[in-house]
């Protein structure tokens, strides 16, 4: 039985209202993130269908590990979200697993990846630093010399970026992103445009920890993708590494789908249709998120839509 999940909305100072395009009933016009699949303590998605209706994903993970192939991790390992940057996010960095475990109460570190759903003309992201050494980067942060420090990259819809832990980054204004990441909410802000919250206070920076974890290497920015045609459907592998594999499917008609792992995370980016799992039919619409578990053996997709599939 698949696990269909209720999304969680997070209001952000830089958020907007574009997530309405996915059929979501937003609680405000400043929603920066919808967490589509999450078992993190800061946002535990609720199961919408039987037999686990009303339980949260972390509960099912803890009590029914057999649904996930008895995966050995203590915590559910992945998270997916859609980010609506009405304004630019803070410039920030995430730690790796070793640093987070030691300094953030045993949490995961955070490597992540972005699929650009949409971007306004000349919209940018920040990816990495324009320095050759960590020492120079730290000096520039200490001197608040940011203009030449951050590496800015113009983006457009359909591009994909892998952001390993330690990489300085930010999503710029006018960019809509689908994000898959390690299940972590640890962020160290380096720069936040001197913005004030409703209280009048500026958001906290975390430069001491940020300077400890930043890395300079910017090997692959916009990762080339690997595309093939399967049963007349387009399958694009966006990335595969030690943290996750991400695949985008453009489905038109009927696809007999074979899970690559015991459980996979699936989000509907566009379109609509049905998924038939072991003979049971489920309607699919834009904005839905679900998990195929180890119990789901025979899966058929029918319709016209785009999916992002994430797995370990």
- Domains identified in the chain and CATH numbers: 3-213 (2.60.120.10), 226-311 (2.60.120.10)
Residues with Cβ < 8 Å from 159, sequence gap 6 or more? 115, 116, 222
pTM, rounded to two decimals: 0.95
Core vs surface per residue 124-156: b (16+ CB within 10 A) or e: bbbbbbebeeeeebbebbeeeeeeebbbebebe
| Active site (annotated) includes residue 189 | yes
211: nearest Cα among 304, 129, 156, 124: 129
Write the Ramachandran bin of 238: left for phi over 0, alpha for psi from -120 to 50, otherwise beta.
Answer: alpha
Handedness of CA 44, 247, 17, 283 (dihedral sign): negative
For residue 223, the 8-state DSSP code is: P
Distance CA 143, CA 17 (A): 36
Handedness of CA 63, 66, 69, 70 (dihedral sign): positive
- Residues tagged in the binding site annotation: 94, 112, 169
Residues of the chain with pLDDT under 70: 217-223
Residue 286: predicted pLDDT: 98
Residue 231: predicted pLDDT: 87
User: Which member of 53, 65, 86, 189 is catalytic?
Assistant: 189
- Residues tagged in the binding site annotation for Zn(2+): 94, 112, 169
């Amino acid at each position: 039985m698949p696990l269909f999940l209720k999304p969680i909305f997070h209001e952000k100072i830089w958020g907007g209202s574009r997530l309405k395009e996915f059929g979501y009933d937003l609680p405000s016009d400043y929603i920066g993130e919808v967490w589509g699949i999450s078992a993190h303590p800061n946002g535990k998605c609720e199961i919408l269908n039987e037999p686990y209706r009303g339980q949260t994903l972390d509960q099912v993970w803890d009590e029914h590990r057999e649904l996930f192939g008895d995966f050995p991790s203590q915590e559910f390992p992945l998270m997916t979200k859609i980010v609506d940057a009405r304004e630019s996010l803070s410039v920030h960095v995430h730690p790796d697993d070793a640093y987070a475990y030691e300094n953030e109460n045993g949490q995961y570190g955070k490597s992540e990846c972005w699929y650009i759903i949409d971007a306004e003309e000349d919209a940018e992201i920040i990816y990495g630093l324009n320095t050759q050494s960590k020492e120079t980067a730290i000096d520039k942060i200490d001197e608040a010399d940011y203009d030449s420090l951050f590496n800015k990259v113009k983006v457009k819809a359909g591009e994909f970026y892998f952001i390993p832990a330690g990489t300085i980054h930010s999503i710029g204004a006018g960019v809509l992103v689908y994000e898959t990441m390690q299940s972590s909410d640890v962020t160290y802000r380096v720069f936040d445009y001197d913005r004030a919250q409703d209280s009048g206070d500026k958001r906290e920076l975390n430069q001491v920890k940020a300077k400890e974890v930043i890395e300079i290497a910017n090997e692959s920015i916009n990762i080339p993708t690997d595309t093939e045609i399967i049963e007349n459907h387009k399958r694009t592998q966006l990335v595969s590494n030690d943290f996750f594999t991400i695949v985008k499917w453009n489905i038109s008609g009927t696809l007999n789908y074979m899970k690559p792992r015991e459980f996979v995370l699936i989000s509907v980016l566009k379109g609509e249709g049905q998924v038939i799992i072991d003979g049971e039919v489920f309607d699919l619409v834009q904005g839905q998120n679900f998990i195929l578990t180890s119990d789901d053996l025979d899966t058929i997709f029918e319709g016209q839509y785009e999916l992002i599939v994430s797995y370990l």
